[in-house]
Structure 1
């Protein structure tokens, strides 16, 4: 059976190309190595064990050694080691310049755009017919000085770039390449058929030149690695314990109010942990409330630590990672806590609930030391193991009361009794209105908002575009934090209850979202109104993984009908290109773990949400049948590891984009653009991207304020009130023009940081492409910030 070596230049489409190879070359084994994994001296003898080499795409330039690695040497292999090679994008550029061509920048870059490819209908394009192909490149090759390179295909860019080489071959050696991306979901006519032609030409050349592939042996696999797909050995848990039974009682609950049930369960006690994942708007259906006990296991971990902290009440245990990474540790933790017997239609029976930071994902891609002077106080992993829960089915108006604790009948009966006697309000998405914020001398202070500096943010967008033009990225999601100093609610302070819960109810009312949530796991409190599901995976044996990236949003307003929204989103070259890049990236992430069975179920469809129209794609994958049953059972954490950080919040290629963004943004993102959700004891999971959300840090949430500290309002300026530093009372004075600021009112009071205030962080940003206008991107970022800031205005005006 054919054995293919695919050399990966740290791209985010590599596994899509591997899948294309498996389709085009039947029964083939595909082995994938990084372009810097082996030296030429170590790699070349191993080529005798392969039938062909694929040179994948990647960021950067073919004339930079760090970008191209061993690929440069492949084109100069000695005649006795010569092997058929097929290059894609960076692979084409490298083949060309190593034989005399020059690499140049395009006048107008082409990222995520579909073009007709004209070809000569021979060689790799024989009988291919019409080709509509996706292009991801800002560089191209000029073949004037390359007599041994024969062009096979072109794209006519007219006045923008003229005629651009899209396919070529070496005149004497078995080398072929294309500039476009044959593996993209939107390439039609130049994918499988071109790879099949390459394989036909490769086998003909090998036969004609007497090239015989040497037998495979374990020593070769030790150097190259196993064929794709495969699961990391450390990611497969080796300990099994008897599965626990899930005990469920179902209660009919007309018009269930999620907030009021949370209040019944004690959410207003700010000294305790509390977790609730909330379908506050369509198309959400289930809301999950964790009924924590004083000894519910809390798991925290920070990037770079060698141990995981597990807390049960006041007892804290440090669990060394040893040879495992955090993902393998979490897999093993859940493996010993499997459960069965819950209702199959209920997505959560119990399990881990909480958040994972942006950095926990970015460190997997590009391990880096902590920033000098980094002040990220929030854990990167902050989860609680939920053994008792209430899952509200908002469509069926029922509550499922569940426990995986033994001998827990008394709690079940008591909780069911409370729900049965519970008086529901007329609507299912409201609770009693929040009380007024703290007041001193009759003045209700306005929240103080510290926006990112406008000029600095625009400069970052301009710098990001230069990275796009240089070929290092196709898209960069540039973000920045906004800080809000807000008053606590007076009655909450007097009662010792949760002011953050009052804020969540306002946010839920003002910006309802299908992936809302209130997660209070001290020292962190997260209020989510996220519209974007990141990853869900169903329980084994099915194990379907689904991702639903959103790229493209239009807020509802008079005159913005579905037809108008579709024209603005699905009809926009920029919006579709952004979405396409993320779709191709997500396909790669899924392929890397589950294997070939990955499909785009929906591409760039405009969906209606409560307050916006959004451009949504749906990608699904199922685990390869060649994977062991145990591997498939533990697949959720491995898919999550491979998919973080969310591609919609980074760009593509993801690794290089994450490195660029770390440099551009200058600070850790922390909780923002991580994920919030759950891992179920039955093997499923559901995680949402943390956007349209805010979070805060409480060093000691139960400490009462002293008399001196209680005066959190004064007439005058504080470190949070200098307009020259981009900090403003939320009142319209000195702010950029926007509906939010114009509609706010000044009450004459300025806040300082005290126990009567909370300091919140919320992030926002946007996908920067070559078509982005920096000023428009700034305004879009501010619009996203305002979707959360409105809750603080309501809090201040209550």
Structure 2
């Protein structure tokens, strides 16, 4: 067995996979604070001897700061101060490399030219072949470096900066079986990582056969129960076993397939319903442009459809209400229960297998509908991991909604590829409604585009146009925020920080959200993941271009999880074609940002999937208004006991909206973003919106290029509602203050144009 010590890094699971594949051994991962200082000796004598070798992984911070490295520094000192002890072989990666050098008397300093996500040639300089033969390329993620080694540490490799300066990349201890590399062998863009692990494993085997034969062949099955489980990072499913076992009861499914003439689109259906009912009693997920393929219109039923709400202001409870009702039931969560577990348990009773649908409906279409009823809704940024709850401030005078999910049983779906429409119900004995609504849809007319104003301001009465107010973020405060980001990037606390801020818009309360959606979608920015959701306590109007995460069955009936991060955007203008956009986007800064998120997502997926592949790496894609640098990461063979909802929970907030390492970056951003008047709570912005079908298929997009409001926003004024628009950008060591401010201002101003 191999022991991997994690320092809250966002690439650790990638390293664990690299070890398991190339060493052929079980990897047990603990964190550097899994043991308390008073139990370090117990760790040393009872725990450490069980492993053939130790890998000390990367992470944020400096090796001299105890809270950054925990037991790691103590372990190296234990061997340093007791040279007669038989050592367990240790391989240090990045922070592990720096800790090895530091604890044996070498200085760890800040780099002049920090490298985060850049590929460099590594040049071995020793006869020791642990790194492999000859020069190879690998990825650097580090703000700190080691130079001027003393005679206890032997250099094994360097790389060279553009100015010719040598940077130490690999070392070994002169006597002990300790090695370290500064580069990241587990990155998707690194070569020779497999060679390093294979060679180190062979070295450790030879050493152990000679000095530690008792450590060979130990495995989990012959360990005292609880010894590993008490300290290892646990892999606990959020969902009980058998969640998606098919029900034996007959499932009522009513479906009508047809086509509508005259180019009728989902927005035309919704406009018809809005005029008919005098309100927006629908939820729309509208793929209004490529690469979206489906649009879903959910029809909540007054006083029947359940809406689940969770707020971090009341973290220990969820609320259940019926759509259209102002009454709700507060449900206290049981000890250890989370809203995620609560929702998962609810879904367990609703599951409908694809086989059952096929038996009920036959071959109803050339491909499966993505949604057969289930949850439609949104999840805020703060509902994700690593948020410091004691630092949150309510945005709303009532509990701020962080999760809103409506369980939809009646819905309409549009296939953009075939132009087929489907009206579907999974309610009991609802075929009559399906038939009736299908007939109603056949008479719907297209929205008169000439009736849609060009801006939201045109929705105001003339006298009220002056009441539209914009609260822009402070440029001087942004400068201070940028400098704080740079300090943390140079100190080794983060590789990338996605700094965001919000613009507040005050609009007359009589302006209806649906009218705003029509302006944004028909006049301004059709998008692949457009949506309209109006709940009792919040409204979201999104024109997001970025899919966050989807899961569905592949051709073999196994679950396939996919994430599609975007990092790098260029406007699509007449003077910028695909070649020009590629030249702009394929730069060290843009590619470094994208690479960091790809490696972070691979780490997230490896916790749940046995097979993680990058099927598309930093490709430039063309859209109507922009070119974007897009990667696609897929997880296959989901581990037993897990589901896509586990992946969603553990992957939030989206890595493209945080940075890496994620935990430290989220905590730092919460502190830094509190400097602006918008406060330390992003709310709905940079969360996710989408669906989770009763068939256990789902698709969630990142909430960017969106506007939203809370019904009881504290910033509301008499007769006016506050709408919020978020914008941000990835700050790296290659970022320029003026450039980042202008980019953020352009994003906010671009969104603002729709309101002026």
TM-score, normalization by structure 2:
0.90
Partner of 1:739: none
Give the Å deviation of 1:368: 3.1
For residues 265 and 227 of structure 1, the distance between their equivalents in structure 2, rounded to whole angstroms, comes to 56
Whether the 8 Å contact between 1:483 and 1:759 is mirrored in structure 2 is: yes
Aligned to 1:309: 319
Q: CA deviation at 1:440?
A: 5.6
The 2-side partners of 1:209 and 1:467 are apart by: 43
- Asked whether the equivalents of residues 31 and 233 of structure 2 are also in contact (C-alpha less than 8 Å), the reply is no
- Residue 95 (structure 1) aligned with residue 104 (structure 2): no
- Which position in structure 2 is the counterpart of 1:668? 681
Q: Equivalent of 2:452, from 420, 430, 433?
A: 433
Report the CA distance between 1:640 and its aligned residue. Answer: 0.5
Alignment partner of 1:606 is 2:616: no
2:507 corresponds to: 486
3-state SS, counterpart of residue 622 of structure 1: strand
Within 2, Cα distance between the matches of 1:128 and 1:326? 52
Whole-angstrom distance in 2 between the partners of 1:437 and 1:644: 36
Q: Secondary structure at the match of 2:319?
A: strand
Is the deviation greater in 662-671 or in 120-129?
120-129
- Answer yes or no: is 1:111 the counterpart of 2:116: yes
- The 8 Å contact of residues 287 and 528 in structure 2, kept in 1 or not, is answered as yes
Spell out the pairing of 1:625-774 with structure 2 (5 A cutoff): 627-628=639-640, 631-632=641-642, 635-666=643-674, 667-699=680-712, 753-755=717-719, 757-774=720-737
Contact kept, 8 Å, 2:237 with 2:646, in 1: the verdict is no
Is 1:623 aligned to 2:637, yes or no? yes
Pick from 342, 355, 360 the counterpart of residue 383 of structure 2: 360
Distance in 2 separating the partners of 1:138 and 1:172: 28
Q: Distance in 1 between matches of 2:129 and 2:602?
A: 25
The alignment partner of 2:724 has SS state of strand
What is the CA distance between 1:262 and its match in structure 2? 0.7
Q: 1:288 to 1:196 in 2, by over 3 A?
A: same
Q: 1:248 aligns with which of 255, 258, 267?
A: 255
Question: Is 2:610 the partner of 1:580?
Answer: no
1:260–1:297 CA distance, 2 compared to 1 (3 A):
same
Which residue number in structure 1 is paired with residue 677 of structure 2? none
SS at match of 1:265: helix
Partner SS for 1:544:
strand
Tell me the equivalent position of 2:138: 133
* CA offsets 1:141-190 (integer angstroms, 9 cap, x no match): 1243x321111111111437x111101111111111100000000012x2
Q: What residue is the counterpart of 1:725 in the other structure? A: none
What CA distance in whole angstroms lies between the structure 1 residues aligned with 2:276 and 2:95? 56
Could you tell me which residue of structure 1 aligns to residue 369 of structure 2?
346
Look up the match of 1:153. Answer: 157
Q: Distance in 1 between matches of 2:583 and 2:521?
A: 29
The aligned counterpart of 2:198 is 196
1:544 aligns with 2:560: yes
> Is 1:567 the counterpart of 2:579 in the alignment?
no
CA-to-partner distance for each residue in 1:456-506, whole Å, 9 max, x for gaps? 112201110110000000000001110011245xxxx4xxxx711111111
State the partner residue of 1:473: 494
Q: Where does residue 533 of structure 2 map in the other structure?
A: 519
CA distance in 1, matches of 2:488, 2:706: 29
* Secondary structure of residue in 2 paired with 1:486: strand
What residue in structure 1 maps to residue 35 of structure 2? 38
Pairing partner for 1:183 from 183, 186, 193: 186
Name the TM-score, length of structure 1 as normaliser. 0.85
Structure 2 CA distance for partners of 1:650 and 1:206, relative to 1, 3 Å = same
**2: distance between equivalents of 1:392 and 1:237?**
34
Q: Assess if the C-alpha contact under 8 Å between 1:237 and 1:331 holds in 2.
A: no
Contact 1:229–1:593 (Cα < 8 Å) also in 2: no
Residue 392 of structure 1 pairs with residue 379 of structure 2: no
Q: Rate the CA distance shift 1:42–1:520 in 2: closer, same or farther, 3 A.
A: farther
Give the C-alpha shift of residue 74 in structure 1.
2.2
- 8 Å Cα contact 2:62/2:95 also seen in 1: yes
Q: Which runs of 5+ in 2 are unaligned?
A: 359-363, 675-679
Choose from 430, 434, 443 the match for 1:408: 430
Cα 1:542–1:216 change in 2 (3 A) is closer
Asked if 1 retains the 8 angstrom alpha-carbon contact of 2:274 and 2:281, the reply is no
Superposed displacement of residue 111, structure 1: 0.5
1:745 paired residue number: none
Q: Deviations over 1:571-591 (max 9, x none)?
A: x11101111111111111111
Aligned residues: CA RMSD: 2.5
CA separation of 1:681 and 1:515: change in aligned 2, threshold 3 A: same
Distance 1:251 1:305, change over 3 A: same
Q: Distance in 2 between matches of 1:158 and 1:566?
A: 24
Helix, strand or coil for the counterpart of 1:538? Answer: strand
Residue 741 of structure 1 aligns with which residue? Answer: none
Shift of 1:43: 1.9
Task: Return the alpha-carbon distance in structure 2 between the equivalents of residues 237 and 375 of structure 1.
Answer: 38
Q: Quickly say closer, same or farther: Cα 1:598–1:268, change in 2 above 3 A.
A: farther
Please state whether the residue corresponding to 1:616 is helix, strand or coil: strand
Which sits farther off after the overlay, 312-321 or 44-53? 312-321
Cα gap change, 1:217/1:42 in structure 2, threshold over 3 Å: closer, same or farther?
Answer: farther
Summarize the Cα distance change of 1:642–1:268 in structure 2 as closer, same or farther, 3 Å threshold: farther
Structure-2 change in CA distance of 1:324 and 1:226 (3 Å): same
Aligned-partner Cα distance in 1 for 2:240–2:232: 16
- Judged with a 3 Å threshold, the aligned counterparts in structure 2 of structure 1 residues 360 and 168 are, in CA distance, closer, same or farther, namely same
Q: Secondary structure at the match of 1:365?
A: coil
Pair 292,242 (structure 1): closer, same or farther in 2 beyond 3 Å: farther
For residue 264 of structure 1, the aligned residue among 272, 280, 286 is 272
Find the aligned partners of 1:268 and 1:774 in 2 and give their Cα distance.
Answer: 51
Q: Tell me which residue corresponds to 1:733.
A: none
